[in-house]
Structure 1
């Protein structure tokens, strides 16, 4: 039994964003088709100045693969103190028929890719067809990934951006305009940026409300990415009142996502959650129904997204003869 090792530079050459959008759509549909077993993920916060680490485990009956991902972030001293990145990821793939380890791959790119693709999938399902302007609250790596993915599914005419770090904001403008030739306007305030949005993306590690309800214009689609653990928050809970709320996983989002906050304040109940995005993709529930409704996609990230994306990378590697095999188990 041989196990395939895929390094970061190899993973980067084995999949494109359009393929990832497809694997994420497959993941969401599978999740709502009784094809997935996905235990609650485990997250640990480590003492400052260290960050957090998450473990996500999933089994997909459609490909007979079990995936396990460890993903860390926020370790700001890592580059200088330990010579490694501030965030890292590793994915293990097991053949579900034998539970033999078939692949070990760098997972740092996959988290970013599939999270970006999730935003794009939600835009297809929930944004207005005439949406052209994007506002990005937060301008780090995931903010860039959201643009890369959404650019695959719609024409972006302008981006308004805000970040609490001016240097990060300025670099975002340079990078996005260079890569996509899309004009980026640097907002003087969060309010100024949000008021321009057809699509609002939040990708911060916020610990409190960054976006107020009265800033959000009718018809806005909100892609809420940053809140995936208790204690994080980006949106004023009042935004959820009367909005069409769609989540990746009701179980996760009501416990660890942005949706927890309006539930905790009794602004909405679980019955007010429109549904999971897989239900919309399967045609069981409607997506956007008019140009005035505010739609919210609360994404906490699911193991099945890692599973389908990593499995596609593994299949591509086998087909293209990429990676290094090693004997992990004695026969």
Structure 2
């Protein structure tokens, strides 16, 4: 039996953002339909300051595939010291019927794509139908991925952006206006940016509250992306007090996500979480119910998203004859 090896550029050519959005919707629905085995993921901080590595594993009964993804980040010295990116990822796909490794693919692009797609899926079910303006707190790579995904599900008229790095912010404005033709307004402050938002997206590696509760207008949909481990935080926990809170996984978000902070402060209880997004997609719970609600989608990222996305890429690669085959075991 041979194993398929897919490089980053091959992965890029094998799937579109529209396909990723579909794969992420499938993942959320499967998670809330009893089709997924997904152990708690393991995250480790490493000796390099600010660096970490995560391991995420899932089994999807419908496609009979097991995925395991490793993703690392925060290695600021990598480009100069080792000639490597500051963050990397790899996905392994196993046939659940035999346990055989059928594919090894670059996972760094998939992580970005499916995280962007998660934001877009939440916009479909939780943002106001007349939402047109998006605010970003943080303007790194994920702030670009979110735009690539969300523009597939809504018309974006204007972006307001804030970042603590003027250079990063300037590059973001140039890149987005060049790629999409969407005007980007550089905010004079975080508050100014947040007050303009129909949809607010936080994509930082924050260690404290970046967005205060009294800045958030009624009707805002918030996509909280950056907090996926204890110690990270982007939102004032008071925002959760009167908001409709939707998560990808209650188990993960209550322990490692943005939702942990209001739970820890006893601003809300687990019973105050409206539901998991798969429940909304399945029609088991309502999404946005009026234009005044503040809605929050807390996304810690789930292994099943990697599974469904990688499965689509693997299937396309086999159909198109893309990638290199190698053999671990003699048949």
Aligning the two structures, in what range does the TM-score lie when normalised by the shorter sequence? over 0.9
* CA positional deviation for 1:328: 1.4
State whether residues 66 and 96 of structure 1, in contact with CA within 8 Å, keep that contact through their aligned partners in structure 2: yes
Q: Residues of 1 paired with 2:177 and 2:131: CA distance?
A: 19
Other-structure match for 2:300: 300
Q: Residues of 2 paired with 1:11 and 1:228: CA distance?
A: 25
Other-structure match for 1:98: 98
* CA positional deviation for 1:242: 1.0
Other-structure match for 2:327: 327
- String of CA shifts for 1:178-228, please: whole Å, max 9, x gaps: 011000000010000000000000000000000000000000000000000
Other-structure match for 1:30: 30
- String of CA shifts for 1:82-129, please: whole Å, max 9, x gaps: 111000000000000001000000000000000000000000000000
State whether residues 137 and 161 of structure 1, in contact with CA within 8 Å, keep that contact through their aligned partners in structure 2: yes
Other-structure match for 1:124: 124
Q: Residues of 2 paired with 1:8 and 1:122: CA distance?
A: 27
Q: Residues of 1 paired with 2:264 and 2:49: CA distance?
A: 29
State whether residues 135 and 161 of structure 1, in contact with CA within 8 Å, keep that contact through their aligned partners in structure 2: yes
Q: Residues of 2 paired with 1:303 and 1:189: CA distance?
A: 35
* CA positional deviation for 1:50: 5.4
Q: Residues of 2 paired with 1:229 and 1:327: CA distance?
A: 37
Other-structure match for 1:231: 231
Other-structure match for 2:219: 219
Q: Residues of 2 paired with 1:168 and 1:46: CA distance?
A: 25
Secondary structure, aligned partner of 1:11: helix
Other-structure match for 1:155: 155
Q: Does 1:89 align with 2:89?
A: yes
Q: Residues of 1 paired with 2:145 and 2:233: CA distance?
A: 20
Calculate the aligned-residue CA RMSD, in Å.
Answer: 0.5
TM-score w.r.t. the length of structure 2 is 1.00
Q: Residues of 2 paired with 1:113 and 1:37: CA distance?
A: 22
State whether residues 50 and 77 of structure 1, in contact with CA within 8 Å, keep that contact through their aligned partners in structure 2: no
- String of CA shifts for 1:11-42, please: whole Å, max 9, x gaps: 01000000000000000000000000000000
Secondary structure, aligned partner of 1:329: coil
Structure 1 residue runs of 4+, over 3 Å off?
A: none
The count of aligned residue pairs is 331
- String of CA shifts for 1:25-74, please: whole Å, max 9, x gaps: 00000000000000000000012335000000000001000000000000
Segment drifting more, 259-268 vs 41-50: 41-50
Other-structure match for 1:207: 207
Q: Residues of 2 paired with 1:38 and 1:275: CA distance?
A: 18
Q: Residues of 2 paired with 1:137 and 1:308: CA distance?
A: 29
Secondary structure, aligned partner of 1:172: helix
Secondary structure, aligned partner of 2:115: helix
Q: Residues of 2 paired with 1:118 and 1:267: CA distance?
A: 26
Secondary structure, aligned partner of 2:297: strand
Q: Evaluate the alpha carbon distance shift between residue 50 and residue 206 of structure 1 in structure 2; reply closer, same or farther with a 3 A threshold.
A: closer
TM-score w.r.t. the length of structure 1 is 1.00
Other-structure match for 2:16: 16
Other-structure match for 1:186: 186
Secondary structure, aligned partner of 1:209: strand
